[in-house]
Amino acid sequence: MVTTSAPCSTPLAGRELPPSVRNQGNSGPASGLGDPGSRERAWEAAAAVKDPEVPVLTIEDLGVLRDVVVDGDRIRVDITPTYSGCPAMDAIRDDVELALLRAGFDSVEVRLVLAPAWTTDWMSDEGKRKLTEYGIAPPSGHAALRRAQGPVRVSLGVRCPRCGSLDTRELSRFGSTSCKALYECRACLEPFDHFKAI
Amino acid sequence: MSALRQAQGPDLDGAIDPHGDVSVDALALAEELAGSGERAGSADIAEYALWLGDDALILSQQLGAWITYAPELEEDVALGNIALDLLGHARSFLRYAGSWDGRSEDDLAYFRDEAEFRSCWLVEQPNGDFAQTIARQFLVSTYMLELYSALRSSTDPTFAAIAEKAVKEVDYHRDHAVQWVLRLAGGTEESRARIIRAFGDVWPYAAELFRDDALTDRLGDAAVRPSSLRPGFDAVIDAVFAEAELEIPEGSASAGGGRHGSHATPLGHLLSEMQVLARRHPGATW
């Protein structure tokens, strides 16, 4: 795996944290980092962080959370960007750090890793269900299938997350964020976002 | 930038900042980096990273100028998203290039002069009308898709990782351009005339992308040999032109020279706009 952490990748030292965080961090039961459950607890804390732009999804649902490694009294969390230019990554990195502080871990490094490259195939079924409920059509088909086609593409049917109709139309392949396309439903006439397969 | 990331001081246990007395600016810059944590292994690797990073950066800046000016709202959004992906690629490559001699991605983007840029002439061609932007976009994204597909096998792990990520995004960029080429060529007489004229304008600048160079010769399998990309590029152009009933434009190839710092006239104008704020207020953050 190729790591992409910056030399100063978010060490906690050097940060003035809000008192509320500090108190929670110190009063929690989680000071014994050597205990065997610490990786699980760290994973749980990181996994609960929400995507700031699609707040029904956690970074675990999205497949953005790649790994949690306990090394002595240090916790390293690997996250991967959905898109190269995704501006949400900075917010996600901060949120992961805060979540781990709140869980009682006080030496945390969050790394951005580029390889292996993120794909919507990593999105959990639970994540796809939550997306649909939220009003965003989840990725359809497998990303690998898309890449197998030639330069002039045939796109797969996308189901309307509101009425369930397959009679939908792509308005724009690019939507409100890098990861979405804009669709409209010809049955219920509502526009909706579609999470693109990549 | 969040207050969290700007803040400095003792951590929970009052430990000393392991980075010593790094200034706020330097710390903030380092933390925003999106590229690799590895240091480039040689000056040649860093130079090649500049080639690729500058192409992505200049094209990103060009496309950003379309926002609020595109023919329809959806197109503002599309070109804006494509520009954002390209900026992500540029940051990764420039950061890697700068790791060789200690420069940050912002140093490279804002504080190099025209002759220090390594972008090709095709990305420097003006936006023109929408057809010209689409014609340029079709040629560049077709080239980039071939390039990144091949670069995934680079012996340099950082190049391979950036390419693996970029290839999936550029796939959407090419798709976008193909759809518009077909639409404009098969649309009205006016749209067809414009896309034909646009390809006539930008086609001479494609040749530079496929010229082998002493640098890529020296880098061997760490880089991609430019001439090796030509057959794949031509096959896509031929297929789409056949579908759109367009002819390959005639005319001689441009001399180019961007890889060695000779640039088309528009680059200077673009840089002055892109760099003025950072140069007027060095180190500014918000």
Domain chopping of chain B, boundaries? 29-280
Domain-terminating residue out of A77, A112, A147? A112
pLDDT digits (tens, 9 = 90+) for B237-275: 999 999 999 999 988 899 899 999 999 999 999 999 999
Q: What is the pLDDT of residue B286?
A: 73
pLDDT digits (tens, 9 = 90+) for B165-207: 999 999 999 999 999 999 999 999 999 999 999 999 999 999 9
Q: What is the pLDDT of residue A31?
A: 43
Residues in contact with A5: Cβ distance below 8 Å, sequence separation at least 6, in sequence order: A109, A111, A112, A113, B37
Q: Would you say residue A191 lies in a domain? A: yes
Query: Which residues of B fall within a CB distance of 8 Å from A102?
Result: none
Residues in contact with A165: Cβ distance below 8 Å, sequence separation at least 6, in sequence order: A159, A185, A186, A187, A188
Q: How many domains does chain A have?
A: 2
- B 136-195 near A (Cβ less than 8 A): 142, 157-158, 160-162, 164-166, 168-169, 171-172, 174-176, 178-179, 182
CATH 1.20.1260.10 fits B29-280, yes or no: yes
Mean pLDDT of chain B: 88
**How far apart are the CA of B276 and the nearest CA of chain A, in angstroms?**
23
| Confidence at B208, pLDDT banded by 50, 70, 90 | very high
Q: What is the pLDDT of residue A7?
A: 34
| Confidence at B37, pLDDT banded by 50, 70, 90 | low
The answer to whether ipTM exceeds 0.90 is no
Report percent pLDDT > 70 for chain B.
Answer: 87
Number of inter-chain CB pairs under 8 A, A vs B? 175
> Do A153 and A86 lie in a common domain?
no
Whole domain around residue A177: which residue ranges?
120-195
Q: What is the pLDDT of residue B284?
A: 84
Residues in contact with B194: Cβ distance below 8 Å, sequence separation at least 6, in sequence order: B129, B130, B131, B132, B184
- The 3-class SS string of B132-189 reads HHHHHHHHHHHHHHHHHHHHCCCCCHHHHHHHHHHHHHHHHHHHHHHHHHHHHHCCCH
Question: Residue A63 is part of a domain; what is its CATH number?
Answer: 3.30.300.130
> Do A129 and A80 lie in a common domain?
no
**Residue A149, SS3 per DSSP:** coil
> Do A99 and A28 lie in a common domain?
yes
pLDDT at A12 over 70: no
**How far apart are the CA of A106 and the nearest CA of chain B, in angstroms?**
7
Q: What is the pLDDT of residue A147?
A: 58
pTM summary value? 0.81
Asked if A86's CB is within 8 angstroms of B161's CB, the reply is no
Find the CB nearest B18 among A5, A6, A13: A13
pLDDT at A8 over 80: no
> Do A24 and A89 lie in a common domain?
yes
- B 87-116 near A (Cβ less than 8 A): 87-89, 91-92, 95
Phi and psi of A118, rounded to 5°? -60, 145
> Do A166 and A186 lie in a common domain?
yes
> Do A127 and A166 lie in a common domain?
yes
pLDDT digits (tens, 9 = 90+) for A94-104: 999 999 999 99
Token code pair at residue B163: 């390419």
Domain-terminating residue out of A63, A83, A112? A112
Q: What angle do CA B219, B222, B228 make, to 5 degrees?
A: 80
Radius of gyration of chain A (CA): 19
Asked if A173's CB is within 8 angstroms of B172's CB, the reply is yes
Domain-terminating residue out of A86, A112, A138? A112
| Confidence at A5, pLDDT banded by 50, 70, 90 | very low
Token code pair at residue B144: 């980039």
**How far apart are the CA of B93 and the nearest CA of chain A, in angstroms?**
11
Token code pair at residue A16: 């003035």
Residues in contact with A115: Cβ distance below 8 Å, sequence separation at least 6, in sequence order: A1, A2, B157, B160, B161, B164, B165
Q: Would you say residue A6 lies in a domain? A: no
| Confidence at A154, pLDDT banded by 50, 70, 90 | low
